[in-house]
Amino acid sequence: MTTDLQTNGSMKKKVVAIQNLNFQYRQKIILRDISFSVFPGEFVSIIGPNGCGKTTLIKTILRSVVPQTGTIHIQGQEVKTLSNKALARHLAVVMQTIDPAAMTVKDYVLLGRLPFFEPYQFFESQKDQAIAQRYMELTGVAHLAEARINEISGGERQLAAIARALTQEPALLVLDEPTAHLDITHQVRVLNLINTLKEQLSLTILMVLHDLNLAAEYSDRLVLLDKNNGRIYKAGTPEEVLTKASIQAVYQTGVEVRPNPISNKPWVFLINPHAQEGKSNAP
């Protein structure tokens, strides 16, 4: 299925354009005929069941996985023609977890300036320092600047990772399940921050998310991957994608979908079959 997310206006320059992407690992087809685009300022989330290829799709953009066929363009340039540093200047990545290295938060965030280092440059410039400081303040980790990464909490690490990614000053921020190991306070804090940064910095966001309700709440658009055939099952606004029928077809589990009473976004309720049986058997 080919799905172009163009309702924001096809005249806008695409930040990401993926066309006819196919990837298989040994005999297993992971991604089949994937095509979609992301436009400036959009917040797009990739959702789908475990093993449907969400992270693989992200990795093809990052070039750590090479697709058999298809093209990926970032800001009009094909990713396979870009140098590693050039790619890192276009997009920055926040992974699920960051390794608890012994470096300080400040040194970690400053690593975001590496793609801008000249050959044989060993030290960050004053400008680099100022940029890192700005994003540490924006993400609320400036007070942890001298703390070591392995001494701060998982939530603080994710905020530091976002600060590091922003220090790359990318056009596209890619996040791979950034809330996977966080409690609900930090989940909301991280996603609120990303949403705020998107508005303040006109960032384009491409995120992999497991939690359908968080995806619906924060994303402008969703891309739902189908594990059964590796294709995009549906793409569009949360209201278009998160329907009872599409979720049941892709996840093969019973759900109810209602509007969130506060935001009016789709809200997915899981149905426990035993609870349902109990309810129907009740006198």
Partner 1 sequence: MNHRLKRWGLILLVLSVLVVAVGLLALCTGSAGIPVNQIPDILQGGKNTAGYSILMGIRLPRILLGMGIGGALSLAGTLLQGMFRNPLVEPYTLGISGGASLGVCVNILCQFYAVIGIIAYPLSGFIGASLVIFLVYHLNRDNRNVRSNRMLLTGVMISYVASSLVMLLMALSKTDDLQSIVLWIMGSLDEPDTTLIWICCAGSIVGLFISYFFCMDLNALALGDEEAANLGINTPRTKKILFIIASFLTGLSVAVAGIIMFVGLIVPHFVRMITGPDHRILLAASFLSGAAFLTLCDVIARVIIAPLELPVGVITGIIGGVMFIWALSRKQVTL
Catalog residues that contact partner 1 under the rule CB under 8 A: 62-64, 66, 83-89, 92-93, 95, 98-99, 101-104, 107-108, 111-112, 114-115, 117, 120, 122-124, 126, 129, 150, 168
DSSP letter for each residue of 194-224: HHHHHHHHT-EEEEE-S-HHHHHHH-SEEEE
CB of 118 to partner 1, least distance (A): 11
Provide, rounded to whole angstroms, the least separation between the CB of residue 266 and partner 1: 32
Nearer to partner 1, 95 or 152 (CB): 95
Of the candidates 186, 100, 111, 109, the one whose C-alpha atom is nearest the C-alpha of residue 148 is 100
Question: Which of residues 114 and 188 has its CB atom nearest to partner 1 in the complex?
Answer: 114
How many Å from the N-terminal Cα to the C-terminal Cα in the chain?
47
CA distance 197 to 88: 19
Residue closer to partner 1 (CB basis): 12 or 85:
85
CB of 158 to partner 1, least distance (A): 13
The three-state secondary structure class of 137 is helix
Q: Quote the least distance from Cβ 91 to partner 1, whole Å.
A: 8
Nearer to partner 1, 5 or 94 (CB): 94
R_g of the chain, CA atoms, integer Å: 20
- Nearer to partner 1 by Cβ, of 4 and 117: the residue is 117
Instruction: Give the CA distances from residue 261 to residues 77, 216, 264, 267, in Å, rounded to whole numbers and listed in that order.
Output: 42, 13, 6, 9
Q: Based on CB atoms, which residue is closest to partner 1, 133 or 213?
A: 133
Minimum CB separation of residue 110 from partner 1 in Å reads 9
Asked if residues 178 and 158 have their Cβ atoms less than 8 Å apart, the reply is yes
Q: Residue 174 is which amino acid? A: V
- Write down the least CB distance from residue 25 to partner 1, Å: 14
